[in-house]
């Protein structure tokens, strides 16, 4: 028997939903580019249900227990006294979402003597010390592409919200006002602006495609250049370096994975090379942007706005400066965990577990680490090393009455 330890975010304050705003979600046949969606033998949930919270259990309990294994589900993940820390000691499989990450540090790997598989329910396995996973011969897998388009949609929404000054304008209505001048004093058109993507993988390219109809000038930088056919289709300008890219941009969107080479990529020095009044949207990982550099640049006016849903650590402590800095559009990490996305990544987790229990190969595109080295998607997207340093700060987050029942 194996113990499967699953870390999910808390249920809604008002309790687990009894009904939903919509009766169903669209059924997709494949992802852009042709990759098939997750293909488990079966599922034990209704697509469109809340699966990513504790009571949702990713729809896994019936399946896991039917195989004779134990499933432990918790949201208590940070600190030495947490449920996760206690249960990790004899866990064989750990499942965690990027939105509420169970940080698997070097120290935790040393305690997890039975651990053989770490699954990311979604995309982005930087909450796992990948070097430690390699050293301990633990397989790491994630559900590639499951929420890429979800995040791309969120990026476009946040770009428009910043440029058009949407959030402050909405707040005037909530407060009972009709303050048009206050609303438009920071409102511009996106049309004609230069938008640059740092990264042009699945999410970055999806963002660029969705921005094309807005009649903007599209630029990108990536260590892997896109085919000429795609550059011509989208009228893309390629930059060999990020420094060259940011000099020309009015809007910058960050779409690269976090690993040692991208940690604090956007810092004081890089921001100083940007136009005054640039907007940055970061739905990749919080640690790609230097926390204090972003807050200072907003205060000085070098940045006109910053939005995103990724922080470091997660959940962010109450005193995190991004909560109170001016002209921001931050949200909790939600871009990739829409009800639509949850159906896909829950099915992907089920597929990975089916393969693991049946001793069948896991899809190559799902693999990050296998056999003591980067593998599959991991070999293309990550570098060896550890990006979890500082994650212990997440223990400082304390739920409020608006967070938990």
Active-site residue (options: 108, 127, 285, 327): 285
Beta bridge partners of 337: none
∠ Cα 30 32 35 (to 5°): 50
Smallest CA-to-CA distance from 387 within 270, 314, 287, 282 is with 287
3-class secondary structure, 93: strand
Catalytic residue among 314, 320, 327, 342: 314
Look up residue 225 and give its DSSP letter. Answer: P
Q: 345 — alpha (psi -120 to 50), left (phi > 0) or beta?
A: alpha
Distance, CA of 279 to CA of 108 (rounded, Å) = 38
From the candidates 147, 165, 282, 370, which is the catalytic residue? 147
Alpha helices per DSSP H over 358-391: 376-381
Cβ-based neighbour number of residue 357 at 10 Å: 16
Query: Helical H runs in 35-90?
Result: 61-66, 83-88
CA distances 269 to 222, 311, 388, Å, are 19, 21, 23
Active-site residue, 285 included: yes
Alpha-carbon gap, residue 130 to 386, rounded angstroms: 6
Burial of 192 (0-12, 13-18, 19+ CB in 10 A): exposed
CA distance 253 to 155: 7
ω before 380 within 30° of 0 (cis)? no
Length of the chain counted residue by residue: 405
Distance CA 162, CA 198 (A): 18
314 is catalytic: yes
**Which residues have CB under 8 Å from 348's CB, separation 6+?**
38, 40, 121, 143, 146, 366
Positions marked active-site: 147, 285, 314, 333
């Amino acid at each position: 028997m194996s113990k499967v330890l699953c870390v999910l975010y808390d249920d809604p304050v008002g309790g687990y939903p009894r009904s939903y705003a919509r009766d169903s979600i669209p059924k997709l046949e494949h992802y852009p580019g042709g990759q098939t969606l997750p293909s488990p033998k079966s599922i034990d949930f209704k697509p469109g249900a809340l699966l990513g919270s504790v009571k949702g259990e990713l729809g896994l309990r019936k399946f896991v227990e039917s195989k004779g294994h134990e499933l432990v589900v918790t949201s208590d993940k940070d600190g030495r006294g947490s449920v996760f820390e206690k249960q990790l000691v004899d866990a064989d499989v750990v499942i965690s979402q990027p939105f509420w990450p169970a940080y698997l540090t070097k120290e935790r790997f040393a305690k997890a003597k039975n651990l053989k598989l770490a699954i990311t329910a979604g995309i982005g396995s930087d909450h796992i010390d990948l070097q430690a996973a390699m050293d301990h011969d633990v397989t790491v897998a994630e559900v590639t592409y499951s929420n890429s388009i979800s995040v791309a949609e969120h990026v476009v929404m946040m770009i428009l919200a910043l440029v058009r000054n949407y959030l402050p304008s909405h707040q005037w209505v909530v407060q009972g006002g009709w303050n048009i001048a206050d609303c438009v004093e920071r409102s511009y058109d996106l049309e004609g602006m230069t938008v640059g993507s740092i990264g042009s993988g699945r999410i970055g390219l999806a963002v660029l495609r969705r921005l094309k109809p807005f009649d903007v000038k599209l630029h990108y930088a990536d260590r892997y250049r896109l085919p000429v056919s795609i550059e011509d289709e989208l009228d893309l300008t390629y930059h060999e370096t990020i420094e060259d890219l940011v000099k020309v941009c009015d809007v910058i969107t960050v779409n690269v994975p976090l690993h040692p080479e991208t940690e604090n990529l956007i810092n004081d020095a890089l921001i100083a090379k940007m136009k005054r009044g640039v907007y940055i949207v970061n739905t990749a990982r919080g640690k790609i942007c230097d926390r204090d550099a972003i807050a200072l640049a907003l205060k000085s006016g070098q940045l006109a706005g910053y939005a995103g849903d990724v922080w470091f650590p997660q959940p962010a402590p109450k005193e995190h400066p991004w909560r109170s800095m001016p002209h921001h559009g931050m949200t909790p990490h939600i871009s990739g965990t829409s009800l639509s996305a949850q159906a896909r990544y829950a099915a992907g987790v089920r597929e990975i577990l089916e393969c693991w229990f049946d001793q069948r190969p896991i899809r190559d595109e799902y693999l990050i680490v296998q056999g003591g080295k980067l593998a599959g998607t991991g070999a293309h997207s990550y570098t060896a090393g550890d990006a979890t340093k500082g994650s212990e700060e997440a223990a400082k987050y304390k739920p409020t009455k608006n967070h938990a029942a």
